[in-house]
Structure 1
Amino acid sequence: ADAVYVALDGDSAEPGELAVFMPEPGGLRLDELEELLRGLVGQKRVAGVGFTGLVRDPANEPKLARLAQALGL
């Protein structure tokens, strides 16, 4: 495929990185997620993105902005 849709479940992040519904230990740090997403952008065009599993928390906004920026959005 020329383009991909990125579906990122916040629960895949290490607890404390994002405010999520069901935090699980052993997840990825925010900087690791950014690196992964930047690598994807280097290989594929991103057609869209969905962030799921998050709770309403203003602290998530700048973190999600960082992830969106890593995707070139």
Structure 2
Amino acid sequence: MTTDDEQPGPLPFDRLDFGDAEQRAEMDGIDDPPADEPVTLVDEPVRVRQPYDQTQKRRNQRPLPT
């Protein structure tokens, strides 16, 4: 027979580490990204620059990328 002193105490469920918090957020269905961060697509198309015209080739002057 066990006494009250030998009973295990309550588990600290209110103290979660980062892994538990991420898993808890996944289980709760919180998948919305924060509104202040811009969403960039992984497969975003790459902008192709226009070919150099003859004057730029002749002078070897290229416009700075913007």
Structure with greater Cα Rg: 2
Give the TM-score of the pair, scaled to structure 2.
Answer: 0.23
- Greater strand proportion: 1
- Greater helix proportion: 1
Give the TM-score of the pair, scaled to structure 1.
Answer: 0.21
